[in-house]
Amino acid sequence: MSPRTPIAARTLVLTALALVAFAANSILCRKALGADAIDAASFTSVRIASGAIVLAVLATRRARGVDGPRVRGSWRSAAWLVLYALAFSFAYRALTAGTGALLLFGLVQLTMLLAAVRAGERPPALEWLGLALAAAGLVALVLPGLSAPPAHAALLMAAAGVAWGLYSLRGKSSKDALGDTAGNFARAVPMALVASAASVLLAHDAHATPAGLALAAASGAVTSGLGYVAWYAALSGLTSARAAIVQLAVPVIAALGGVLLLGEPITPRLALCGATILGGIALALVSRRA
């Protein structure tokens, strides 16, 4: 067995877990905000606060009896995290799921690929072909449901995509995924609370039901907090280009989750486009090794 095999397998598993968490997070957010069970600012604050609590407990337990809690992170990463989370929540109040996914992951890819090229990465032709194939599948999947989105919502989701791309790029240098993610979430809490307070004062739209709070807490503690730890850990084994490309799988996973959890029908278009997206991702991932 090659000495690189365990690292590659670990990166593959962590990436898969993170992508499933991202898709689940989208489902939780759409369910909460679509039913108006909670306002967008409160959803974001509860999401980040619950994630911060879980991550702080895990970081503390890991370091108990060694050198104290290992909570790291940075204020810059926390700022990108809050910007992504707030823009994501507010944008989904006025965007369809397909339009939002296309805007979000399109901007994530563009941000990370431009950063990769600027840093000197030169993806081979097959990797670009895989990206084009995956992107074409994504467009074909969401195109029938696309409508002209409100300009403010489109700009918010675009901002969320750029912020998430930049947050992911900063995670590539992380040597301690749990400690860095815990620190980022802890720093993000006061920022999110300030944003919630501003929303209450300006929009007078603060409201939350028990179901909305539960969905926001699950989003923060599980699909955001733990999912982002897995993503930070996976990033050390991915190039920026590949990290951008594999996230194209999230809308497909979210669509399948809608079929299984929300009773949405399976259509031939969903199956064909899903296979196209996953096939493009596979082509991009194996291109360099080939």
Long-range CB pairs of 110-113 (<8 Å, 24+ gap) are: 110/161, 110/165, 111/161, 111/162, 111/165, 111/166, 111/169, 111/244, 112/165, 112/168, 112/169, 112/240, 112/241, 112/243, 112/244, 113/240, 113/241, 113/244
Predicted model pTM: 0.79
Q: Is the pLDDT of residue 5 over 50?
A: no
Q: Which band of pLDDT confidence, cut at 50, 70 and 90, is reported for residue 4?
A: very low
pLDDT at 149: 65
The pLDDT-based confidence of 151 (bands split at 50, 70, 90) is confident
How far is it, in rounded angstroms, from Cα 58 to Cα 135?
37
Report pLDDT digits (tens) over 250-272. 877 877 777 777 666 667 777 78
* Residue pair 19/246 in contact by the 8 Å Cβ criterion: yes
Mean pLDDT of all residues in 192-201 = 86
Could you tell me if 238 and 246 are in contact, meaning their C-beta atoms sit under 8 angstroms apart? yes
* pLDDT in the model for residue 3: 41
Q: State pLDDT tens for residues 153-187.
A: 888 988 999 999 899 888 877 778 888 888 999 99
Quote the CA–CA distance of 284 and 240 in Å, as a whole number. 12
* Amino acid 1: pLDDT: 41
Q: State which amino acid sits at residue 12.
A: L
As a whole number, the mean pLDDT across the chain is 81
Domain residues of the chain, as ranges? 5-287
The pLDDT tens digits of the residues spanning 134-144 come to: 888 877 776 66
Residue 6: pLDDT band by 50, 70, 90 thresholds? very low
Q: Which helix (H) or strand (E) holds 247?
A: none
